[in-house]
A and B are shown apart, each in its own frame.
Chain A
Amino acid sequence: MIRNLNKTLNKFSLFFQPITKKPYSSSSKISDLFFWRVDENWRTYFDLLNIVSIMGGSSKKAEIIFFDQNGFLLFTEEINLNGLSKKTLDIAYLLGKNNIGSSISFGTFAIFHLSTPEIIFNSNSYLSDRGYVSYKYRSSNLRKYVHGNYDAVAKGENSLKMLTGSSFFKRKYNLQYSLERNSNYEIVLINSTSRNQKITLDFSNGIDSKPIFSTFELPIRALKISKLSNLDKNSHLSIKSNMTMSRPIVFSYRKNDFDVFHG
């Protein structure tokens, strides 16, 4: 009976606590909070597409806003768009141009398009960029792509609003990937809700074995990279928090290469 009651309450909370909340204003634009990392091993890129023009509108500029790993604003820059051409932004170049030194080696950024196509207004919708980030590691020339994870943050006239919902009850997100023994991983979680979150990572490698827990606080807009080295058995990860969605970005390392994906 308690189980049934829990199920009913969970359904109720899903209805009132959507994964993505609505922005304050109908003219707000939405972006993911994209993860960037830049240091002697890493470069990050973003493929900026003119999504307003793709939707039949006209746009010449977009705005990129950078945050550090604690969620604090670093700088804002306007980017000129060139018709429908793809513009590959080199994040290291933008950081250097804005005097962000090597003491800050990772964080997030958001992309907001500066106009809204008519079809968006007519459909009571909001324009969102959940585009494509790519990472380059050490000597490889190949960039590894991963698409945006959330409709994380909205920009109105003068303010930002975090859009991922917070739940009354703890929720569990099970990574849809089996972590392999003897492999190394980084699990990246970003708090795109409007409150601080207590998050528990539960690495479990079977009924007989003892789960490994890691619990941490994540302030609003902050991110945490959890490193996982040399698992002794294949394992599964579940993430417990009050976020209505806590899908992480996973970096997986094999020999001299890496992979990046959402799990």
Chain B
Amino acid sequence: MISDYTSTSYQGEIIPFPSTGSFLSFPSFIQKGMGIENYMLLLNIENEPSKRKEKVYFFEANTRNLMGSIDVFSNYLNLIDLDQFCFDSGDLPIILCKKMSFVPLFFSTEKKGKFMSLEHTHPPASFAVHGERFLIQKYIKNFWFEELKI
């Protein structure tokens, strides 16, 4: 991503998701301060070349408060303004979607592109090494889908 002043990048790759996928992310990237804006880019490419609409929910982890929800589309780069959900600087957002998978990218900028930051979160399986990591991922997703009752 390039502005007149600077550029920012992340290393990533994507293989098309099955349309049965889901999404859970715990991003810590929201920054506060004068002139700082925070966005999320939800990138979806699916095996099925169609355009589906689903809902993504935004919760605060400690209180389990629902901060908002937004419609997103498959085979699309969904741009979401994160500041609209009014998370505090110590909050841990939980962002989830039961029926669509994404590569979640988080973009912050200060002074309209003078300084920029871009990074992605790992899927929940990254909290574990070796063993049945994807069983762990399924467990974490089920735990939070039940806990947040969506």
Contacts and interface: CB of A to CB of B under 8 A. Distances in A.
Interface residues of B, number: 48
Interface in A244-263: 252, 254-257, 259, 261-263
Contacts of B119: 132, 145-147
By size class, the interface of chain A is: 35 or more
Interface in B113-135: 114-122, 124, 126-133, 135
Nearest to B144: A54
A131 to B, nearest CB: 8
Contact of B129 (A20, A87, A177, A262): A20
Nearest to B128: A125
Given A126-B129, A132-B29, A143-B117, A255 B140 contact: no
Given A56-B139, A140-B115, A262-B11, A128 B126 contact: yes
Nearest to B32: A141
Nearest to B92: A86
Contact of B127 (A22, A51, A85): A51
Interface string B92-118: 100000000000001011100011111
Contacts of A68: none
Contacts of A30: 129
Given A49-B92, A86-B90, A255-B6, A124 B130 contact: yes
A84 B110 contact: no
B11 A263 contact: yes
A176 interface: yes
Contacts of B121: 147
B130 A259 contact: no
Contact of B9 (A83, A127, A131, A177): A177
Given A47-B28, A84-B61, A142-B109, A257 B6 contact: yes
27 contacts: A20-B129, A47-B28, A49-B26, A49-B28, A49-B92, A51-B127, A55-B127, A55-B143, A85-B62, A85-B90, A86-B28, A86-B92, A87-B90, A88-B90, A120-B136, A123-B133, A124-B131, A126-B131, A127-B127, A128-B126, A128-B129, A141-B115, A145-B118, A151-B129, A257-B5, A257-B115, A259-B7
